[in-house]
Structure 1
Amino acid sequence: MKTKKLLYITNGITGSGGLERVLSIKASMIADGFDYEVHLLSLNEEGKETFFSFSKNISFHSFSVSGNPVSYFTSYKNGIQKIINHIQPDIISVCDDGLKGFFLPKLIQTDSKWIYERHVSKLIEARFGQGVINKVITKVKWFLMEKLGSDFSRFIVLTDRNRKEWSTLNNLEVIPNPLSFYPGESSALDQKKVICVGKISYQKGQDLLVEAWDKVWRKHPDWKLELYGKSNEDYLNTERLKEKNILHFPPEKNIMEKYLDSSIYVMSSRFEGFGMVLIEAMACGVPCISFDCDYGPSDIIIDNEDGLLVKKESTKDLADKLLLLIENNDLRQDFGKKAKVNVQRFEQSIIAQKWDNLFKRILQEI
């Protein structure tokens, strides 16, 4: 049987964000473990080094897009069409959380089957401090996404709760993200460290975490909060946090070592698409505390069994739960052991098989 060709289309693969991390894992496990010829297309990245490692079995493609909106969109469409004509893929999977990727099935001439992968919540468009005009623009974007989403053979979301955001679509399927790693060892949970990984931003809510940490730090000044991720100093001045034992570090390639050296993971996001960092921490035997935000944490953490869910954006509750795990070593150890077991449902081979089954079903459809 002829090897089927799979093409992923995304904005970029050289960054240190969650989408790049997930794509490096997912595309690599498909290329290495199954009989697919895997291609990956990104924009403006010719010759650039990737932050995460990708399989050598993947073929990479990139082209330049720039200029005013008309020029950009024209070069975007023509560049993708040219590469698709060359590759002749059987399946195209669009991994672009913006609006432009939704138009591709209408713009591109191909017999390929189309998949759309949604990695974030719709709420990513509803940014802090939006005025009336921007709110209207956001509503229009959501409307267009719903209408255009039906052009894909499948529209993939990460959790069951994510389904609720796309109520008009009947092509939805849920496939969660795979684990990045599953080390044989676990954290001893004896270091006085709490860790949070993610870009310093309104979405990730580190401002709420800093507010909650004030209560924790005053009671336990020997504990540290470590933040890993890109920083926007206009949003949160990380230099001023050291006095409260809050330390900021840039994105870390070997983040597994940092999890293994921590005792609690905390997620303070206002909204999420999934929560990759939660399953990574749990794989290292680290108990997690998270706001019960839309969407992801409640699909990953089993509250009061392997971690704790907190009322969304309640800094008081977040502080109280942090203090509970800091002051109760036995509970911390129990949660950590159960987290490492429960997170195995996201193991790479399990998730890879879900994708393989999906590809086979789509290719059989007329």
Structure 2
Amino acid sequence: MRILYITNQISGAAGLERVLSIKASYLADNMGYDVHIVTLNQGEDSLFFDFSKRIKHHDIKVEGDFFQYIKQYSVRLKTIVNRVRPNVICVCDDGLKAFFLPIILGKPCPMIYERHVSKLIEIKTDSQSFFKKIKLKARFTLMELLASSYNRFVVLTKGNTLEWNLKNIEIIPNPLSFYPEEVSGLQNKTVIAVGKHSFQKGYDRLLQSWKLVNQRNPDWKLKIYGTIDENQGLTALVEQLGIEKSVEFYPPARDIEKEYLAASVFVLSSRYEGFGMVLIEAMASGVPCVSFDCPHGPKDIITHNQDGYLVQNGDVNGLAVSINQLIENSSLRESMGRTARVNVNRFLAETVMKQWDELFKELVV
């Protein structure tokens, strides 16, 4: 079967790129699929994640003003689709243009839209003006109307289904990117967080919480891995809170598995998520997680009090209390870490990709 993925650039270190590399490579290497990926303005940029050498890569270059951009994109994408002649098209693009693709392409075959983020990704700050709220409502209404033209609209969690009023919706979670043979010893005095500096990831909230942790456990370190954005003001906040000796920022780590294995607690402070890939990666490494119960993802992954802690979204004090509990009780850490590694098996690639295989075959029949 021939699958064509349509996406944007895949040179970054974000979750969508990681998940696409896992899924597309598994289909090509383990299931015998003929996999093609179309990128947008990828050019000669190198890929952050590894993709199977069996995958055929096509790139579309577009430039100019809005109208030139759309015309070039439409014409060149149609050319590739006509040449590849896929059995199924999967669209992995969280932007608005993705919703128009069934119209642009005329649905030459069954089409699937993969939604990797929550609608809340459109909210950039804690406060929104009246006009921005109206604009967002209109945008979401248009997205929902166009989404119904896809054969399937795939989301990652039960919570994500509540954001959409669609009959074609289906839940398929992200697959694990690795399941290491070894696990963390959970003895290093290190708490880890992973994700780019952004409003979504809520590191401002994490740092406020960490000040409380640091007061009780000053010998522990917080390490944050992800694309660094000085405009987020996190370095200044660290200095303002007086925790600069216990907080370290690192750029994205290509071998992030190594960093999970060197940590004893993982923390997710996001205001919202599409899934929470970093949670299942930490759990696969035997590391217990503390997470805000944000929309959407953590409650689908963490079983509270068994393999980690879910804290009311935004409860900075509660986050600190849960982190301190794991720091101060090594037997609890170890018990939750063992349970986490077992519970996360449901996200193994071979399990998740069976769902995709069944969906593809259902649509093509």
Specify the code of the residue in structure 2 equivalent to 1:84: V
Provide the residue aligned with 1:271 in structure 2. 272
Whole-angstrom distance in 1 between the partners of 2:244 and 2:73 = 47
- 1:288 equivalent in alignment to 2:286: no
CA contact (8 A) 1:9 1:41 kept: yes
Provide the residue aligned with 1:346 in structure 2. 347
Whole-angstrom distance in 1 between the partners of 2:321 and 2:237 = 24
Specify the code of the residue in structure 2 equivalent to 1:352: M
Specify the code of the residue in structure 2 equivalent to 1:171: N
Specify the code of the residue in structure 2 equivalent to 1:295: H
4+ long deviations beyond 6 Å = none
Whole-angstrom distance in 2 between the partners of 1:303 and 1:216 = 20
Provide the residue aligned with 1:148 in structure 2. 146
State the secondary structure of the residue aligned to 2:163.
helix
- 1:232 equivalent in alignment to 2:229: yes
- 1:213 equivalent in alignment to 2:210: yes
Deviates more, 1:122-131 or 1:95-104: 122-131
Specify the code of the residue in structure 2 equivalent to 1:108: L
Whole-angstrom distance in 2 between the partners of 1:132 and 1:244 = 42
Provide the residue aligned with 1:165 in structure 2. 163
Specify the code of the residue in structure 1 equivalent to 2:202: G
Alpha-carbon distance, 1:36 to partner: 1.5
Whole-angstrom distance in 2 between the partners of 1:93 and 1:236 = 37
State the secondary structure of the residue aligned to 1:312.
coil
- 1:194 equivalent in alignment to 2:191: yes
Whole-angstrom distance in 1 between the partners of 2:16 and 2:287 = 23
Whole-angstrom distance in 1 between the partners of 2:72 and 2:124 = 28
Specify the code of the residue in structure 1 equivalent to 2:327: I
In structure 1, the gaps of 5 or more residues are none
CA deviations on 1:106-129 (whole Å, 9 max, x unpaired) are 111352110000000000012214
Whole-angstrom distance in 1 between the partners of 2:201 and 2:194 = 9
Provide the residue aligned with 1:133 in structure 2. 131
In structure 2, the gaps of 5 or more residues are none
Alpha-carbon distance, 1:85 to partner: 1.1
- 1:15 equivalent in alignment to 2:12: yes
CA contact (8 A) 1:119 1:274 kept: yes
Specify the code of the residue in structure 1 equivalent to 2:101: L
Specify the code of the residue in structure 2 equivalent to 1:308: Y
State the secondary structure of the residue aligned to 1:134.
helix
State the secondary structure of the residue aligned to 2:363.
helix
CA contact (8 A) 1:186 1:285 kept: yes
With the length of structure 1 as denominator, give the TM-score of the two structures: 0.96
CA contact (8 A) 1:126 1:135 kept: no
Specify the code of the residue in structure 1 equivalent to 2:264: S
Whole-angstrom distance in 1 between the partners of 2:247 and 2:134 = 38
CA contact (8 A) 1:81 1:109 kept: no
Deviates more, 1:268-277 or 1:243-252: 243-252
Deviates more, 1:261-270 or 1:106-115: 106-115
Deviates more, 1:52-61 or 1:31-40: 31-40
State the secondary structure of the residue aligned to 1:253.
coil
Whole-angstrom distance in 2 between the partners of 1:237 and 1:221 = 20
Q: How does 1:20-39 map to 2 (within 5 A)?
A: 20-39=17-36
Specify the code of the residue in structure 2 equivalent to 1:354: Q
With the length of structure 2 as denominator, give the TM-score of the two structures: 0.97
Specify the code of the residue in structure 1 equivalent to 2:217: H
Alpha-carbon distance, 1:130 to partner: 3.2
CA contact (8 A) 1:40 1:59 kept: yes
Residues 202 and 32 of structure 1: CA distance in aligned 2, closer, same or farther (over 3 Å): same
CA contact (8 A) 1:46 1:61 kept: no
Deviates more, 1:248-257 or 1:31-40: 31-40
Alpha-carbon distance, 1:240 to partner: 6.1
CA contact (8 A) 1:217 1:244 kept: no
Sequence identity (%): 49
Provide the residue aligned with 1:326 in structure 2. 327
Alpha-carbon distance, 1:234 to partner: 1.5
Aligned length: 360
Q: How does 1:36-185 map to 2 (within 5 A)?
A: 36-128=33-125, 129-166=127-164, 168-185=165-182
